[in-house]
């Protein structure tokens, strides 16, 4: 069963395209990365899934229930949400805020909430302070506890580790893995591609409102894309260097860096024409693969 399914989902704001013909599915119990720079359409898609905006056309389902054109009220209690721009009731204490938000979901397991607070390093003394005194990182922690405290079946997280220190970020990754092992589905947008590579099983990449690809992280990394560092015997030789199929070729003195996609036999047959003093090659990471899919062309996030 898929926790999220969208089919040709489209949203226009007047003549401006938010997303167009976006289709993908998120299996239950998976951690799914939703990738794209500002303007790609990530926020528009999330807002449709939360019924904050309605699509211009297309359809979407949560847990097999259609959310277009009507949105079943019982679904809201099954979702935990962390927005990219978190707004809090500044006059409330951390404890008061969590208790207020928890009432929207019925009974909250106080023991589970206490464990989340401990995992994210929010001390009891922190919870007695008004939210207006919180740092950015502390606000993010409170937002995460709010999203997770009612033990939802689906977590929708927009840049969840923004502002978290490395130790808390690592613990948060462990929490996500624990949640997924228990059957919770995690749908997260992130600009941190190393983070996505670490925690997500599957990713979707958007560009200017359109879906470029949906693949597992393993499938993406199986793409034969490599980063090469080559040093020739002289700067003059490097200046004359050409390689059919090279991407992002850069020269620094006698040293060259480039991306290569494809068959090694074709690469080495061309390199035989050059005298090299050094050569190194590594498989591209997710960030490099993402950049190969996407060339930024500006635009604001919708």
C-alpha to C-alpha distance for 43 and 41, rounded to whole angstroms: 6
Q: What is the CATH number of the domain that holds 52?
A: 3.40.50.300
Question: What is the pLDDT, as a whole number, of residue 49?
Answer: 96
Residue 231 has pLDDT above 90, yes or no: yes
Give pLDDT tens digits for 18-29: 999 999 999 999
pTM: 0.79
Residues 171, 92, single domain; the answer is: yes
Q: Cα separation of 265 and 93, whole Å?
A: 64
Rounded Cα distance between 287 and 137, Å, is 25
End-to-end CA, the chain: 29
Tell me the average pLDDT across 246-261: 88
What is d(CA 131, CA 108) in angstroms, rounded to the nearest whole number?
21
Are 258 and 133 part of one and the same domain?
no
Residue 299 falls inside a structural domain: no
Residues 99, 183 within the same domain: yes
Asked if residue 95 and residue 8 are part of one domain, the reply reads yes
Alpha-carbon gap, residue 120 to 82, rounded angstroms: 15
Are both 233 and 183 inside the same structural domain?
no
Q: Which tokens in the block code for residue 214?
A: 């949906």
Residues 88 and 147 grouped into a single domain:
yes
Q: Per-residue pLDDT tens for 179-229?
A: 999 999 999 998 777 788 889 999 998 888 999 889 998 887 666 678 899
φ/ψ region of 272 (left if φ > 0, alpha if ψ in -120 to 50, else beta) reads alpha
In this structure, the answer to whether residues 109 and 85 fall within a common structural domain is: yes
Average pLDDT for 245-270: 85
Say if CB 67 and CB 51 are below 8 A apart: yes
Same domain? For 149 and 278 the reply is no
Q: Which residue has the higher pLDDT, 80 or 35?
A: 80
Eight-class DSSP state of 202: E
From CA 12, how far away is CA 28, in angstroms rounded?
29
Instruction: Determine the average pLDDT of the residues in 166-181.
Output: 94
Domain assignment of residue 275, given as a range? 225-283
Mean per-residue pLDDT for 151-175? 94
User: 291: which 2 tokens?
Assistant: 């950049």
Q: Across all residues in the chain, what is the average pLDDT? A: 89
CB of 36 closer than 8 Å to CB of 294? yes
Q: How far apart are CA 100 and CA 290, in angstroms?
A: 40
Parallel, antiparallel, or unpaired for β 202-207 and 31-35?
Answer: parallel
In this structure, the answer to whether residues 104 and 209 fall within a common structural domain is yes
Q: Report the C-alpha gap between 156 and 257 in whole angstroms.
A: 39
How many domains does the chain divide into? 2
Domain holding 269: CATH number?
Answer: 3.30.70
- Is residue 262 domain-shared with residue 179, that is, in the same domain? no
Residues 149 and 253 in one domain: no
Split at pLDDT 50, 70, 90, the class of 152 is very high
Name which of 68-77, 249-258, 292-301 the model is least confident about: 292-301
Structural contact between residues 231 and 278, judged by C-beta atoms closer than 8 angstroms: yes
Which tokens is 258 given?
């480039």
Q: Is the pLDDT of residue 132 over 60?
A: yes
How far apart (Å, rounded) are the C-alpha atoms in residues 17 and 192?
Answer: 25
Higher pLDDT, 220 or 65: 65
Q: Are residues 146 and 209 in the same domain?
A: yes
pLDDT at site 176: 94
DSSP 219: H
């Amino acid at each position: 069963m898929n926790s999220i399914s969208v089919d040709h989902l489209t949203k226009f704001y007047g003549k401006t395209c938010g997303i167009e013909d976006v289709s993908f599915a998120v299996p239950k119990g998976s951690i799914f990365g939703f990738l794209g720079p500002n303007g790609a359409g990530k926020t528009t898609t999330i807002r449709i899934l939360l019924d904050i905006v309605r699509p211009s056309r297309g359809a979407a389902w949560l847990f097999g229930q259609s959310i277009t054109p009507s949105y079943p009220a019982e679904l809201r209690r099954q979702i935990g949400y962390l927005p990219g721009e978190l707004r809090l009731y500044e006059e409330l204490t951390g404890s008061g805020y969590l208790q207020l938000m928890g009432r929207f979901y019925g009974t909250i397991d106080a023991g589970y909430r206490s464990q989340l607070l401990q995992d994210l390093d929010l001390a009891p003394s922190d919870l007695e302070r008004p939210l207006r005194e919180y740092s950015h990182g502390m606000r993010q922690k409170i937002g995460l506890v709010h999203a997770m405290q009612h033990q939802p079946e689906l977590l929708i997280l927009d840049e969840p580790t923004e502002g978290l220190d490395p130790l808390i970020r690592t613990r948060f990754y462990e929490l996500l893995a624990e949640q997924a092992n228990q059957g919770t589905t995690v749908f997260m947008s992130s600009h941190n591609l190393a983070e996505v590579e670490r925690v997500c099983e599957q990713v979707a990449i958007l560009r200017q409102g359109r879906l470029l690809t949906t693949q597992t992280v393993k499938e993406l990394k199986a793409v034969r894309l490599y980063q090469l560092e080559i040093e020739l015997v002289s700067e003059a030789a490097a200046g004359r260097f050409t390689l059919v199929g090279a991407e992002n070729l850069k020269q620094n003195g006698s040293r060259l860096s480039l991306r290569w996609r494809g068959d090694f036999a074709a690469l080495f047959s061309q390199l035989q024409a050059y005298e090299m003093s050094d050569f190194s090659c590594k498989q591209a990471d997710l960030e490099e693969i993402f950049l190969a899919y996407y060339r930024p062309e500006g635009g604001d996030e919708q």
